[in-house]
Amino acid sequence: GQSLEQPSEVTAVEGAIVQINCTYQTSGFYGLSWYQQHDGGAPTFLSYNALDGLEETGRFSSFLSRSDSYGYLLLQELQMKDSASYFCAVRSRNTPLVFGKGTRLSVIA
């Protein structure tokens, strides 16, 4: 089977940098995705890593280490609107995405 671990809650200060970690166990790994979900809203896609390294999209970056079965989402210059839940999701051979339980990020002034 597949399993993902990510912290349940993270709090960070506006303007700071925060890193949300995700470790996974799976066979036939294809890639790691990240999604954002605001309270009462639908999940929205943020990023996808298939290869080792850092992918940058504006204030958000995502990192993957396939050998360590580990990835993280990095949010820079935090804004209040970044308060949301963040989900990592892994895709493996012949299976659709499997989501982690989510990390609730609270940005405080």
Partner 1 sequence: NAGVTQTPKFRVLKTGQSMTLLCAQDMNHEYMYWYRQDPGMGLRLIHYSVGEGTTAKGEVPDGYNVSRLKKQNFLLGLESAAPSQTSVYFCASSNPGQGANEQYFGPGTRLTVT
Contact positions toward partner 1, by CB under 8 A? 8, 30-31, 33, 41-45, 48, 50, 87, 89, 91, 96-102
Q: Which of 19, 8, 1, 38 minimizes the C-alpha distance to 100? A: 8
Least distance CB 75 / partner 1 (angstroms): 19
The residue (of 16 and 50) whose beta carbon lies closer to partner 1 is 50
Angle at the Cα of 37 from the Cα atoms of 24 and 77, rounded to 5 degrees: 90
Neighbours of 93 (CB within 10 A): 9
Least distance CB 5 / partner 1 (angstroms): 11
The residue (of 8 and 27) whose beta carbon lies closer to partner 1 is 8
Give CA separation, 94 vs 13, 29, 37, in Å.
40, 10, 26
Least distance CB 58 / partner 1 (angstroms): 16
Least distance CB 4 / partner 1 (angstroms): 8
Pairing of strands 103-108, 9-13: parallel
The residue (of 15 and 28) whose beta carbon lies closer to partner 1 is 28
The residue (of 11 and 45) whose beta carbon lies closer to partner 1 is 45
